[in-house]
Amino acid sequence: MNMIAFESARVATIKSSPSMAVSMAAKAMRAKGEHVIDLSLGEPDFDTPAHIVEAAIEAMKRGITRYTAPDGLPELRQAIVAKFKRENGLDYAMDEISIGNGAKQILFNAFLATLESGDEVVVPAPYWVSYTDIVILHGGVPKIVACGVENAFKITPERLEAAITSRTRWFLFNSPSNPTGAIYTADELRALGAVLARHPHVAIMSDEIYEHIVCADVPFTSFAIACPELKERTLIINGVSKAYAMTGWRLGYAAGPKQLTKTLNKLQSQSTTCPSSITQVAAAAALNGPQDFVTSAVAEYKARGELVAKGFGAIPGLEVRAPEGAFYLFPKCADHIGRTAPDGARISSDTELASYLLKQGKVATVPGAAFGVEPYIRLSFATSRENLAIAIERTADALSKLR
């Protein structure tokens, strides 16, 4: 008897989000009464600012609880246009904006809209865990360019040039970076832009969702500002999740060429129809309202970043580069690979090391393999300094037990 297949061949080629899998494992241990410090998810530990919550409540009271247009409420699109002008010096029209249920949906729509089977997407590694799987799901081929700590976790113009072929459709990168915290300087972006200018068939997808979270003296520069000559083939990805502690609200947005955003909005009309009307009002309040929360949150992230860079950097066998932005540390852990745990198990990969740290040290991290490079572990410092201090102590103790 033939069995019904409930997973297509294409879906079978991807995996569930590794960071979510680790977080779920940590939650399961907590449910059993174990005290786990979860450094796996990139999620602010702050509550959404009160004025944003109040805007959502008022929206519901005013009856803004129905479908909106696929491209969103005019007031939110106008707020996004104003944000790009005010904060980035970029001019976009209302019809050059697309709004989705999180930045991830924007990425999903963009690749669904543009990739033909076999098209290539150049992705520097370390990369955010979902980039490559979303490309694969839509028939594309990720062209991974490894950029380890020895390269400051950044792709060079020479390596970008070498990766581009006649099948290259997109260059996708993230600055500030998840998982490394690296920020491309304006000069570095211009150097990459000079390469891309020689290849007019390649579009640029610049994921700038961590733009406000800058922890060092390296200022954030939008790719479209550094390379204005490439603006008409650049899609800027952003959202309210990270800067405004709105992960669960699910609201991302993008700005790019009118022909592309029109296609993205058409796709949305046939998938989720539109983002939540209530969330859209809240997002407009976030973008238009006072930015005090962002300033105070970033100051706290900076202090936490200094704490973890110093604390984990002092642990023997971890090679640490202080993050310039976002809220992640990405230490190299090569010295601990090949060692043996107290129970006799050999640690042969960063995946096994992360599993060991969770079981032995009760600290949840994500292995570098999930981000396309090994051997590293990613630590999110979007949690309290008290938790981070405990995590440093537990990690040092667990690693000291390896032989």
Domain-located, residue 372: yes
Q: Where are the beta strands (DSSP E) in 176-272?
A: 203-207, 234-239, 252-255
Q: Give pLDDT tens digits along the chain (403 positions).
A: 567 878 888 888 877 776 667 777 888 888 888 899 999 988 999 999 999 999 999 999 999 999 999 999 999 999 999 999 999 999 999 999 999 999 999 999 999 999 999 999 999 999 999 999 999 999 999 999 999 899 999 999 999 999 999 999 999 999 999 999 999 999 999 999 999 999 999 999 999 999 999 999 989 999 999 999 999 999 999 999 999 999 999 999 999 999 999 999 999 999 999 999 999 999 999 999 999 999 999 999 999 999 999 999 999 999 999 999 999 999 999 999 999 999 999 999 999 999 999 999 999 999 999 999 999 999 999 999 999 999 999 999 999 999 9
CA torsion 142-210-245-280 (nearest 10°) is: -70
CB 134 within 8 Å of CB 102: no
Please report the pLDDT score of residue 1 as a whole number.
56
Please report the pLDDT score of residue 232 as a whole number.
97
CATH number for the domain including 384? 3.90.1150.10
Do residue 322 and residue 251 come from a single domain? no
Do residue 297 and residue 274 come from a single domain? no
Considering 288, 317, 346, which residue would you say is the last residue of a domain?
A: 288
Domain-located, residue 3: no
Please report the pLDDT score of residue 291 as a whole number.
97
CB 111 within 8 Å of CB 140: yes
Domain-located, residue 15: yes
Strand partners, 306: none
Please report the pLDDT score of residue 10 as a whole number.
82
Domain-located, residue 87: yes
Considering 265, 288, 311, which residue would you say is the last residue of a domain?
A: 288
Show the tokens assigned to 211.
Answer: 């733009």
Domain-located, residue 61: no
Please report the pLDDT score of residue 255 as a whole number.
98
Please report the pLDDT score of residue 188 as a whole number.
98
Do residue 303 and residue 176 come from a single domain? no
Q: Is the pTM of this model over 0.85?
A: yes
Considering 288, 308, 342, which residue would you say is the last residue of a domain?
A: 288
Q: How many CB atoms lie within 10 A of CB 303?
A: 12
CATH number for the domain including 218? 3.40.640.10
Please report the pLDDT score of residue 169 as a whole number.
98
Please confirm whether the linkage preceding 126 is cis (ω < 30° from 0).
yes
Range of the domain at 316: 11-47+293-398
- Cα–Cα dist 83/103, whole Å: 16
DSSP letters spanning 302-363: HHHHHHHHHHHHTSTT-B----SBTTEE--B-GGGTT-B-TTS-B--SHHHHHHHIIIII-E
Domain-located, residue 373: yes
The total number of structural domains in the chain stands at 2
Please report the pLDDT score of residue 8 as a whole number.
86
Please report the pLDDT score of residue 15 as a whole number.
78
Do residue 142 and residue 243 come from a single domain? yes
Domain-located, residue 55: no
